[in-house]
């Protein structure tokens, strides 16, 4: 089990974005929690330190927790490829799909428990009775029982789910129930994701939020974004001035290049860039985005260029499907004629430095004319709010938490059927053809993120839940 320690972030750094009244409300909530939280450590356990939305959310939560004076820690659960193939299967089942079609039987439970046992020893050597331990997603779910028996408080945080469960979803929950039912509370991004057997009083809904000062979301000029895209090889632009701000406020120059499947020369700064930024995950439907662009956008808009952008598959250890999805997109690309190949780039961003990777994403999103998130299923999809924060118009699927972020016809276009490639192409083309509509969507999207998806809202909800769980633990100890 690995320890990850982000640098602390003071809460007052949010004031320029939230205003003083919202900042004071959060500060007061933290102060009120101290009698119950002081002397306890809040631990977070997940399965990767980089390469996915959960890791990014934890970097934010732990940093602000430390900055608020709460003893907040982050541990990474270690597994092997066989274990991560199983947990990816569970991930897909909870999203209502078969995934690799493999079983979830006795053998899989044995693998799950066998992988968990050494991690139990590792976490029990660190925590103390009375601590609060937030266990994220299926991978470390087997820790909950041991944490509870030790006298600490396990809270299971699930970032995935499905609004309308089907037999696949139920199969996933049946597998996980013996493990997550040992948690003292469960947290979901949407209330509809909770399984039917979860007691309502044990369920809390906390939607994710973005950090406006992280390397992925910090202010970046159009000139700097263009230079960064030139430096990493996405655009044929001058790389001079490819500088970005890191989380600690220091400025660095971009040093690494992306791995790109695409023809030379790269598109110039005048290209109308359509992008989707996501993991190379089947449920993100990168091949569908590519096909929809080729059939519905490229023939009608000669300046449009598609960039499918994901992390280097080497840097995402808990997602064994990533390379296959990238290979599928590459196969489609190789089958195109020369003219169309020049209109598409498959971009894998290096993961050697998480903040440099985040700054690359920042530049891609800020330069985009339209940002897509055509997921077939989605837990929350915070990349949507991240693009909206940069005032980019969205074309996204009406699935999962995306529906909580995009207001159809106000901040973007929602697709009722994610598999409808004609509708996807038409929605993208409409925004490329109407710059004023695109501008209005982007402007209203930025305001929606400011109102709903900044850290003070999420942090306040976590403070309330952790305080309530600490109070419950205190009462049971006294009793």
At residue 75, φ and ψ (nearest 5 deg) are -120, 145
* pLDDT above 60: residue 45: yes
pLDDT at 478: 63
Is the pLDDT reported for residue 35 higher than 90?
Answer: yes
Q: Calculate the CA 217 to chain-centre distance.
A: 13
272: nearest Cα among 397, 429, 391, 390: 429
What is the average per-residue pLDDT within 233-256? 93
**Cα dihedral across residues 450, 217, 29, 123: positive or negative:** positive
User: In this predicted model, what pLDDT tens digit does every residue of 145-197 receive, in sequence order?
Assistant: 999 999 999 999 999 999 999 999 999 999 999 999 999 999 999 999 999 99
State the pLDDT at residue 248.
81
CATH placement of domain 222-452? 3.40.50.2000
Q: What is the pLDDT of residue 247?
A: 82
What pLDDT does residue 265 have? Answer: 87
Q: Given this model, what pLDDT does residue 332 score?
A: 96
Of the given ranges (21-35, 41-55, 214-228, 436-450), which has the lowest mean pLDDT? 41-55
The pLDDT confidence band at residue 204, using thresholds 50, 70 and 90, is very high
Give the pLDDT score at 437. Answer: 98
| Selection from 233, 228, 166 nearest residue 195 by Cα | 166
**Statement: residue 430 has pLDDT above 60:** yes
Q: In CATH, which superfamily holds the domain spanning 2-209+454-478?
A: Glycogen Phosphorylase B; (3.40.50.2000)
CA dihedral 51, 187, 402, 283 (to 10 degrees): 50
pLDDT of residue 43: 98
Per-residue pLDDT at 459: 97
Q: Can you state the percent helix, strand and coil of the chain, rounding each to 5?
A: 50, 15, 35
Every domain range in the chain assigned CATH 3.40.50.2000: 2-209+454-478, 222-452
Mean pLDDT taken over the chain: 95
Look at residue 471 and tell me whether its pLDDT is greater than 60.
yes
What pLDDT, in 10s, does the model give residues 325-374? 999 999 999 999 999 999 999 999 999 998 999 999 999 999 999 999 99
Going by pLDDT thresholds of 50, 70 and 90, the confidence category of residue 52 is confident
Give the pLDDT of residue 50: 80
pLDDT of residue 3: 96
Percent of the chain whose pLDDT exceeds 70: 99
Whether 479 has a pLDDT exceeding 60, the answer reads no
pLDDT at position 195:
96
Three-state DSSP state, 23:
helix
Give yes or no for a contact between 307 and 275, defined as CB atoms under 8 angstroms apart: yes
Range with the poorest average pLDDT among 115-129, 246-260, 285-299, 359-373: 246-260
Could you give phi then psi for residue 317, rounded to 5 degrees?
A: -75, -25
Residue 48 in contact with residue 54, Cβ under 8 Å? Answer: yes
Q: What is the pLDDT of residues 62-119, one digit of tens each?
A: 999 999 999 999 999 999 999 999 999 999 999 999 999 999 999 999 999 999 999 9
**Burial class of residue 281 in the structure, from the number of CB atoms within 10 Å of its CB (0-12 exposed, 13-18 middle, 19+ buried):** buried
């Amino acid at each position: 089990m690995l320890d990850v320690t982000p640098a602390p972030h003071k809460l007052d750094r949010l004031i320029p974005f939230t205003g003083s009244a919202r900042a004071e409300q959060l500060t007061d909530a933290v102060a009120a929690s101290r009698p119950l939280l002081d002397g306890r450590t809040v631990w977070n356990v997940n399965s990767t330190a980089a390469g996915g939305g959960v890791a990014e959310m934890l970097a934010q939560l732990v940093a602000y927790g430390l900055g608020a004076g709460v003893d907040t820690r982050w541990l990474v659960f270690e597994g092997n490829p066989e274990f991560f193939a199983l947990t990816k299967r569970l991930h897909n089942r909870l999203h209502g799909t078969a995934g690799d079609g493999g079983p979830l039987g006795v053998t899989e439970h044995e693998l799950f428990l066998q992988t968990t046992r050494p991690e139990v020893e590792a976490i029990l050597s660190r925590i103390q009775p009375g601590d609060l331990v937030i266990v994220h997603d299926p991978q470390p779910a087997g820790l909950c029982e041991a944490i509870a028996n030790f006298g600490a408080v396990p809270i299971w945080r699930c970032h995935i789910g499905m609004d309308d469960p089907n037999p696949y979803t139920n199969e996933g929950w049946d597998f996980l129930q013996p493990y997550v039912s040992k948690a003292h509370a469960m947290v979901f991004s949407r209330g509809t994701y909770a399984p039917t057997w979860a007691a309502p009083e044990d369920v809390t809904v906390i939607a994710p939020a973005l950090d406006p000062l992280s390397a992925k979301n910090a202010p970046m000029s159009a000139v700097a974004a263009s230079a960064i895209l030139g430096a990493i090889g996405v655009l044929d632009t001058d790389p001079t001035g490819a500088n970005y701000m890191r989380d600690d406020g220091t400025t660095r120059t971009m040093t690494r290049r992306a791995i790109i499947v695409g023809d030379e020369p790269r598109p110039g700064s005048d290209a109308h860039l359509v992008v989707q930024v996501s993991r190379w995950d089947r449920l993100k439907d990168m091949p569908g985005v590519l096909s929809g662009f080729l059939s519905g956008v490229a023939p009608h808009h000669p300046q449009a260029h598609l960039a499918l952008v994901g992390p280097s598959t080497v840097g995402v250890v808990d997602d064994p499907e990533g390379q296959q999805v990238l290979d599928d997109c590459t196969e489609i690309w190789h089958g195109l004629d020369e003219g169309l190949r020049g209109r598409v780039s498959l971009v894998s961003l290096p993961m050697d430095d998480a903040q440099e990777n985040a700054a690359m994403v920042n530049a891609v999103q800020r330069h985009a004319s339209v940002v897509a998130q055509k997921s077939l299923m989605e837990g929350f999809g915070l990349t949507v709010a991240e693009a909206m924060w940069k005032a980019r118009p969205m074309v996204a699927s009406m699935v999962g938490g995306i529906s909580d972020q995009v207001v159809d016809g106000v901040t973007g276009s929602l697709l009722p059927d994610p598999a409808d490639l004609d509708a996807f192409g038409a929605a993208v083309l409409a925004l490329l053809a109407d710059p004023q509509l695109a501008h209005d969507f982007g402007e209203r999207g930025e305001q929606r993120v400011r109102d709903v998806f900044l850290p003070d809202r999420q942090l306040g909800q976590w403070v309330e839940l952790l305080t309530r769980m600490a109070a419950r633990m205190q009462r049971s100890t006294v009793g």
